[in-house]
A and B are shown apart, each in its own frame.
Chain A
Amino acid sequence: MTSLELLERIRSGSDVRTAQAELYGLVRAALLERLGKKIPPQHHARLEPEEVLRAAFLKALAHLEGFRAINEHSFLAWIYSIAKKMIADALELRTMATTFFPGPEAPKDPEASRASERPTGATARPARREWMESVLARLPPQEAQVLRLRQIVGLGYDQIAAAWDTTPEEVRKIYKRAWARFSALAVGEG
């Protein structure tokens, strides 16, 4: 069966599980190897192509109602673009985590810090945090760092504490102070 026929079966609700499994088989055969090449080898241990492909497939199925296939390749191209975006996001988060892991000795120049964090090329996020970044740049570097690591990268207080060689309680204090300062600046501007 072709991907178009399988999509039709899924949409019509006829033997959905089998159709989904068959469709995933088609997607896997066409895309798994290509996706593997999109992930730099040093990230293979933590970012498996199969995992990404499955996540992209599930995401696509969840949004199937809005999808219109033009031809047999449309669904594959859609899954590929979702998976590539997932890889880019995951790599960007890792890059940010690495960039901000040097410890409490934060860079003295906030602009230098921002430059090292700025994503490039395919990994660039939409510029929807421009304003927040401009506010963060006005915080003391360590406070900006703790907000990025906690709210954007998503690290735990214990992870940040381990990287900074301090206690989670101390990180919490820095975070609290940083958020109070961020809020005051945001309110002042907003």
Chain B
Amino acid sequence: MTGSILFEAIVFLGGALICVPIAKRLGFSSVLGYLFAGILIGPYLLGFVGEEGEDIMHFAEFGVVMMLFLIGLEIEPKNFWKMRRTILGMGGLQVGATMLLTYLLFAAIGFEWEVSLTVSMAVALSSTAISLQTIKEKGLFETTYGASSFSILLFQDIIVIFMLGLLPLLSNTGEVTEADGHGGGGNLLESLPLWLQTLAIILSVAAVVAAGRYLIVPMLRRVATTRVRELLTASALLIVCGIAFLMELVGLSPALGAFLGGVVLATSEFKHELESTLEPFKDLLLGLFFMAVGASINFIVIGNAPLMIGSLLVAIIVLKAVVLFIVGMVFKLKLDQRLLLAIGLAQIGEFAFVLLSFAFQLHILDQEQMDTMLVITALSMALSPILGIVNERLVLPRIGTKQVEKRAVDHIAKTHKVILAGFGHFGSTVGRFLRANGIEATILDQDSNRVDLLRKMGFDVYYGDATRMDLLESAGIAEARILIIAIDDPDAVADLVAMVMKKYPHVKLMVRAKNRYDAYELLNMGAEHIYRESLDTSVKLAVDVLHQLGFRKYTLHRQAQKFIKSDEESVKRLAGLRRNKEEYIFKAREEIELQEKFLEEDLQRGFIVNDKDWESEQMRVAFGGVEEGE
């Protein structure tokens, strides 16, 4: 519409700001919000974005690169090595079977074998961006579903290199018209013999590993000593760009290289700095990417052959899902995990855009075939989150680990109804202690493996997201006396507190808070019983330190009790103060100010000095100082 970069920025950012909150409000993942924002601003609805949408997509694919770098950071090399079997096995099986079936399907429809093979390669790949983002948002990374998805996606990232290498061999013309500037094209090594190419690839991978150890970490150390924060941001971006560039140069997938770089840096001391620095960039770029996908859905192509595209779309999604389901079966995933996997990876991924346009340049596909496949790819990506919701809301509750399992309710459970949301590290301790005292809490948890175990141990467990009101209601929130909220995610905790306080005000809420900051939020929402996980333990540690330094234990014990009590009072008081002020923009600045207030209060109180208990000083003075204590 207009070439101004500012205007484009406004369109994309505005679209995101309008659509994503709506999607979140409706309980959908942000991916869906971005996709709809893209469709909305795209050429066929509002028309703010035209052909340049595709360029933006290529730019935004960099978000995927960053995402894999960040994922790499989370995986230590030893764990990566442990995963090799699932990566090769699950990934290989999924890609192989999907390609075979797709090839047969397209060949049967009557496409030439080169076309069918190209399409089958594109179809075999799933969208790392969509599936991993969804898994992360739902906090399912630790489940078998999360790990399996990740393994398969990683395998696809590796295999795509070979696919891009294979495409020129399929080309009828046998020549590459031009380097296409991304993905498989534009690589320096094309003219070299195969063994040299292979050598270069191995060398560049080795270069990434070596650079991680001997170049990047020393560089980061030096940067850290300058104490200029933006330099760290710059170096983080430089690392990712550098790796991506190197990988493109030798014809490898930049995402794969970035992942490798991440793994190498996972053990370095800069892991968390890098994560927090790159996270916002990644999120924005991914958002941009999803919007670009939405904008690229060509409604004219759809309009020309709606039936053909519709049925191909359905056929492909079903085919991919069935293959994934079988892969899950072979690798012994539980039914619900298997379904999540099947639906989660059933879309065609962003690599398809690269493959398809590369194949078009090689004249393997004609314009119409490419357009059709691009539309199907984009549509499958847009459908993916919707299918996920259908699966989660309508299918999963009925099968596998059931949301509810009927069991006889004894009298105590009825009259002393306690619901425990979240049975992780925190909640499990709470639940075990309750049970040790004969109180059986009704548990809500969203890890199906854990749910099964707990059921085996005789707990009354509801499987699913505790912030869903319908689940809470079926767990009996209406008759509950106490709801213990031991969920890890502070935002989910706040949501749950607000929801229950509004609808079931009679239920007593006992809430886990990560830190002082969360405690303020909860206090200001009106929650009374707040348990900061960082309070008691750290005081206990300090007590032990002082004991090591020669203080007597009982004195320390009493001081610790006083300290905890006054700390809790301070939090309550300061939470009130905070409400009156305008909203803080910078969390960090607020933390510092509060810290300062706490330290001041401590000074005024002067703990040890005021401890006169069991002291005879006063009396000795009164009696003329004759006695040596009582």
| A and B are interacting partners | no
